[in-house]
Amino acid sequence: MIDTNILKHSPLEAAHIRCGARMVEFGGWYMPVQYSGIIDEHRAVRTSAGMFDISHMGEVLVTGPEALPWLERLLTNRVGKLAVGRGQYTLMLDEQGGVIDDLIIYRTAVDAFFLVINAACRDLDLKWLTAHLTGIAAVKLEDLGDKYAAIAIQGPNSEKLLGKLYPSFEVPRRNGIGVLPDISHFDVPAFVARTGYTGEDGFELFVSASQVEELWSELLAEGAKPCGLGARDTLRLEMGYPLNGSDLSVKHTPLEANLGKYVALSDPEKCDFLGRHVLEVQRSSGINTLLSPLKLSVKGPPLRSHYPVLSNGVVVAETSSGALSPSLGEGIALAYLPFPLSAVGTQLEIEVRGRRYPASVSVLPFYKPERALNSHL
């Protein structure tokens, strides 16, 4: 049994129960893992539109005249490249170059940045950010995690669906963010970002916790299918998007996690950010391990995390994530492979309950959505 007393609760919990959710613990939260079924929900997102409660995600607002240079030192991507109303995927590293968290940063005004961080990392991230704020007066850091709730609408019909709710709202372009004007009388502005974690077109709506249930009901009435964390996981894995805590940790740098394009090492405008020196060394001397996509070559059991990966009968890695891809019907996984074994097509084996199944290094994404990719990146 789950001891729900020690967990954080979404303001949508009652709505989930009404929708027939099965609830689980995730990142310290009590969240829906599924409603109608993971495969059904997964398909709804790939073919029409699904909605996810992402209220467990943390929201942090950073403002002030020094906000930009301060964030530039703490994040790997070049924050200064962001125009107002734009977002980017980025990473926060420790001094050794290890990944503390991956996040999306949106520039909501010249001197205002809205950060969306992982649920399980909220406390750690805030501690880290606060610790690096010492002596800097011109930056204001606000943890808005409790004020905000959030819903992700994902799938090819997302724009149509959002249009029904807010016909006069000019939707942002991919990776952009806008403010919903008609509900600005709440305690926090309602942000609509065209980002997500599924590879499909879609939006993430960050709204006041006090208005989220009404939004959920409206979306439900317009036909958005409630989707849980189960489908969120299979959808993100089909795209090869890493999950912090499984595929990312302080034990690996973003270069090892195959996220080099979100690290502005080659950008002459980028300053000396935390962890940079380790990445510079890795860039010149090479990496020993690389987070790589693996695909089973035969029909087999669903892949999961912590399954041994073998080369010539010797265990060389273990999977960090795995699934039976609902879109492809094939076993897919991610694993930190020794660099020499990470070339596409390399033949390996994955062991499941003592039995070995042939697999090979594949390419990302495992599944290409039909519409133009709306990456979370």
Structural tokens at position 71: 């964030």
Here's the x/- map for other proteins, 7-26, by CB under 8 A: it reads as: ---------------x----
Give CA–CA dist 201/157, Å, rounded.
8
Closest CB 300 distance from other proteins, rounded Å? 8
Q: Count CB atoms within 10 A of the CB of residue 238.
A: 24
Tell me which amino acid residue 140 is.
Answer: K
Cis peptide before 242 (omega within 30 of 0): no
Site for other proteins, residues 343 to 362, rule: CB under 8 A? 353
Q: Which of 38, 257, 291, 309 binds other proteins (CB under 8 A)?
A: 38
Q: How far is the CB of 198 from other proteins (least distance, A)?
A: 16
Contact 370, 327 (CB under 8 A): no
Pairing assessment for the beta strands 29-34 and 8-9 based on DSSP bridges: parallel
Minimum Å gap between C-beta 267 and other proteins is: 40
Q: What is the distance in angstroms between the CA of the first residue and the CA of the last residue of the chain?
A: 37
The answer to whether the beta carbons of residues 256 and 289 sit under 8 Å apart is yes
CB of 33 to other proteins, least distance (A): 7
Distance CA 286, CA 323 (A): 30
* One residue of 60, 139, 193, 324 binding other proteins per CB under 8 A: 324
The nearer residue to other proteins, 89 or 197, going by C-beta atoms, is 197
Among candidate residues 377, 17, 29, 19, the one with its CA nearest the CA of residue 224: 19
One-letter amino acid of 89: Y
Task: Considering the complex, state which of residue 38 and residue 263 has its C-beta at the smaller distance from other proteins.
Answer: 38
Cα angle value 254/145/334 (rounded, 5°): 30
Q: Which stretch binds other proteins (CB under 8 A): 3-11, 29-37, 115-123, 367-375?
A: 29-37
Please state the closest distance from residue 35 (CB atom) to other proteins, in A: 11
- Find the angle CA(173)-CA(178)-CA(181) to the nearest 5 degrees: 135
33 lies in the binding site for other proteins (CB under 8 A): yes
Between 37 and 163, CB nearer to other proteins: 37
The stretch near other proteins (CB under 8 A) out of 102-110, 114-122, 142-150, 323-331 is 323-331
Specify the stretch interacting with other proteins by CB under 8 A; choose among 99-107, 116-124, 169-177, 318-326.
318-326
Based on CB atoms, which residue is closest to other proteins, 291 or 324? 324
The reply on whether position 340 binds other proteins by CB under 8 A is no
**From the DSSP assignment, how many helices (H) and strands (E) are in the chain?**
8, 20
Q: Which of residues 172-231 bind other proteins (CB under 8 A)?
A: 230
Q: What is the footprint of other proteins within residues 277-316 (CB under 8 A)?
A: 300-302, 304
Judged by CB under 8 A, does residue 321 bind other proteins?
A: no
Taking the C-alpha atoms of residue 21 and residue 377, their distance in angstroms, rounded to an integer, is 29
Q: Comparing C-alpha atoms, which of 197, 199, 218 is closest to residue 207?
A: 218
Which residue in 2, 14, 17, 37 binds other proteins (CB under 8 A)? 37
Q: How far is the CB of 39 from other proteins (least distance, A)?
A: 5
Interface with other proteins, residue 34, by CB under 8 A: yes
Task: List the one residue out of 373, 340, 1 whose CA is nearest residue 194.
Answer: 373
Nearer to other proteins, 44 or 279 (CB): 44
- The residue within the footprint of other proteins, chosen from 9, 19, 28, 39 (CB under 8 A), is 39
Binding site for other proteins (CB under 8 A): 22, 33-34, 37-40, 230, 234, 300-302, 304, 323-324, 326, 353
